[in-house]
Structure 1
Amino acid sequence: MGILEDGGHAAFTIAAVYERAGVAPPFLYTRTASKDALFLAVYEHGIGRLRHEREVFADAARWAGLSPPDLVRAAVAEIPHIFLRHQRFLHAVVLISSTHPEVRRCGSQYGQELGESFADVLRPVAAAMTHDDPRAAVWPSFGTVFAAAMISVAYGPGFAMPDAVDDEDFGRDMGETAVRYLLGGVTH
C-alpha cells in the first residue's frame, strides 16, 4: 500500500514491490498472476479500509437527538472526513478509475454503499425535507458532497476554486449547502 500511496500507480511496479518487501522477484511471481493482479489486491485492501469507515453511519447513538439541520450537517461532514483520513490512498487511485474498469467498478460500488449509509442516516428527518420524494432528494446531496470531496482529494483543495478552503471549512460549507437543498433553507 505504501508504494501506491507514496508514488501513485506509476510507481507501483513489481520491482518496487519486491524491493520494499525484501523478497526476490520469483517469490512475487509465484503468488500473483501479474502486476495488475497485485495492484488490484492492494486496491481491494484500501477499499476494505474505506468500507470499515462506513460503520460511523451505523452508529445510531452518534446521530440520536440531533435536529434535522444538525443531522444533515454531521452526516455530510463525515464524507470528507473519511476521504481525508484515506487521502493518500484515494489520491493515488481516483484518477486511475477513468482508465481501469475494475477500479471504476469497485469504486462505484463503494460510492453506492456509502450513499446508502448516508441516506439511511438521513431517513429519520425525511418529514422535515421540502421535497416530494425525500429519499430521491438525498442522492443529489450525497453526490455533490462525494464528488466535491473526491475532487479535493484528487487535485487538492484549491482546484476550481479561487481560494482554497481548509478541511473544516470545506465540510461546513458542504453541510450548509445540503441543509439548504434538503430542508429548504432552514439553517438553525
Structure 2
Amino acid sequence: MASRKSPDTSERSAASPELPEALAIRQPRQKRSREAWQRVLEAGITLLESAGYGGFTIAALSETSGINPRAIYERASSKEALFLAVYEHKMTQMANDRDRLFREAQESGLPPGEVIGRAVAAVLLLFERNAEFLRPVIAIAPEHRVVFERGKRHTALLGDMFVAALERTGLLTGDSTPAWQAFRAVYAMAVLRTMQGADFISPAPTLDEEITYSTTMVDQYLRAE
C-alpha cells in the first residue's frame, strides 16, 4: 500500500472562502443590532430543524425570531444569503464541539483502544447531537453547490482530526491510508444514522453500542493492517 501523508490541516483550517457580494451579510456594528442578529441566526437554526429548507423563509424566520422582516433584509438581501449565514453560524458551533471532543482523544497515556474509541465517539456524537440540523443540510447539499463545497471542507477537517488521533495509537506505520479508510467507514455510519435512522439496516443499536461496535471494527482493522 502506497504511503500517503495526512492532508494539510493548516490550509483546511483557514476561514471559508468569501461569498459573492449578493450572498454576503451586512454585519451589524451596534450592540443592539448584533444581539438582534444573533437572535435571527439562532432562530434560523431552530427553523431549519423544525421545518427544513423548504420551510426556511424570511416570514417564518421573522415570526420565530421576533425580528421585523425589514430588519432582516437589512442584513441579508435574500433567503439564500440568510440560509448560508445560519449554516455557517451552526457549523461554527459544531466546530467548537468537535474540537472539544477530539481534545479528549489527545490525552496522554491513553491505550490505543481508548484513543480509537474516543475518536470514533467524537464523530458519532457530533452527528447525533446535531442530527436535526444536519438532516436537511445533507439532503440539499447535492443540489446546493456552496453547501456541498463547504460541507466537503468541514468533513475534511473532521477527517484530519480523526486520522491525527489514530496516528497517536502507534498502530500506523507511516501510512495514513488505513486511518482514512476507517474514517470513511465511521463517517458513513454517522450519515446513515442521521439520514435513515439507526435501524435502517438492522435492529437499532443504541449510540453507545454503535460506538463500541465501530471502535472494535476500527481497532481490528488497524491491527490487521
TM range (shorter): 0.7 to 0.9
* Alignment match of 2:185 (pick from 144, 156, 168): 144
- SS of residue paired to 1:54: helix
Instruction: Give the distance between the partners of 2:98 and 2:142, measured in 1 at CA.
Output: 24
Distance 1:16 1:60, change over 3 A: closer
- Between the two proteins, the alignment pairs up a number of residues equal to 181
What's 1:96 paired with? 140
Moved more, 59-68 or 80-89: 59-68
Higher RCO (CA 8 Å, separation ≥ 6 residues): 1
Higher mean Cα deviation, 83-92 or 54-63?
A: 54-63
Structural mapping, 1:92-171, within 5 Å: 92-126=136-170, 128-129=171-172, 134-159=175-200, 161-171=201-211
The offset of 1:51, in angstroms, is: 1.0
Give the whole-Å Cα distance in 2 for the aligned partners of 1:12 and 1:103: 15
Structure 1 residues 140 and 61, CA, compared in 2 at 3 Å: closer, same or farther?
closer
Cα pair 2:128 2:194 within 8 Å, conserved: yes
Choose between structure 1 and 2: higher helix proportion.
1
Measure the CA separation in 2 of the matches of 1:39 and 1:92: 12
Residues 170-185 of structure 1 aligned to structure 2 (within 5 Å): 170-184=210-224
- Among 64, 68, 72, the alignment partner of 2:116 is 72
In structure 2, the CA distance between the partners of 1:23 and 1:112, relative to structure 1 (3 Å rule), is same
Alpha-carbon distance in structure 1 between the residues aligned to 2:105 and 2:54 = 43
TM-score by length of structure 1 reads 0.88
Question: Could you report, residue by residue, the CA deviation over 1:69-104 in whole angstroms, capped at 9, with x for unpaired residues?
Answer: 222122112110111111221123111111111111
Matches of 2:51 and 2:223, distance apart in 1: 42
Match of 1:56 among 91, 100, 109: 100
Query: Matched residues in 2 for 1:75 and 1:123: separation?
Result: 11
Runs of 4+ in 1 over 6 A off after TM superposition: none
Structure 1 unpaired stretches of 5+: none
Structure 2 unaligned blocks of 5 or more: 1-44
Residue 63 of structure 1 aligns to a residue in which SS? Answer: coil
Instruction: Please report how far the alpha carbon of residue 57 of structure 1 lies from its aligned counterpart in structure 2 after TM superposition.
Output: 5.5
The TM-score normalised by the length of structure 2 is 0.74
Q: What amino acid is aligned across from residue 108 of structure 1 in structure 2?
A: K
Output the CA distance in 1 between the equivalents of 2:204 and 2:106: 30
Does 115-124 or 36-45 show the bigger shift?
115-124
RMSD: 1.9
Query: 1:179: how far off?
Result: 0.8
Moved more, 50-59 or 5-14: 50-59
